[in-house]
Structure 1
Amino acid sequence: MANHKSSIKRIRQAEKRRLHNRYYAKTMRNAVKKLRMTTDKTEAVAMYPNVQKILDKLAKRNIIHKNKAANLKSKLAAHIAKLA
């Protein structure tokens, strides 16, 4: 166990941030998965802006890397274009 007050506080902060980041990353993964599973083009086109917003926000807050967000958006756009 940590001995310094500052290190005890740092442990508390790190745990709180970890849980916060984990929640938003999981939410993002679920949104991406739901869009990938969609077979209806109109529904996918309607969902895409929300997923894009989530990805951009997480990249801005350094929960995911900006290149990962860009890659996911690109793949999802290609998936939507491929739908009939």
Structure 2
Amino acid sequence: MTSKKPIADEPIDDSIRFESAVEQLESIVSSIEAGDLGLEESMILHRRGQALLKICRQRLQAAEQEIKNVSLDDGSLADGESESGDSN
């Protein structure tokens, strides 16, 4: 018998890559949807999923802000308008 530590018990490293967090979220959703888990384990996975989701949202917001900053720095706006407000 293996003594593999369940994903729910592993601490979430703040430096986790976005892609890894998404993979873990997908795994958690699949596990919960399968319906083979008990209530306690489902709730533990749900809490972990919430923490991973928060990290993913933070990473996406940071990336979005960085893209907006780069767009503004090069003289174009994110919506495609010029800085003067002219769309022509």
* TM-score, normalised by the number of residues in structure 1: 0.40
Q: Which has the larger radius of gyration?
A: 2
User: More relative contact order in 1 or in 2 (CA 8 Å, sep 6+)?
Assistant: 1
Which structure has greater helix proportion? 1
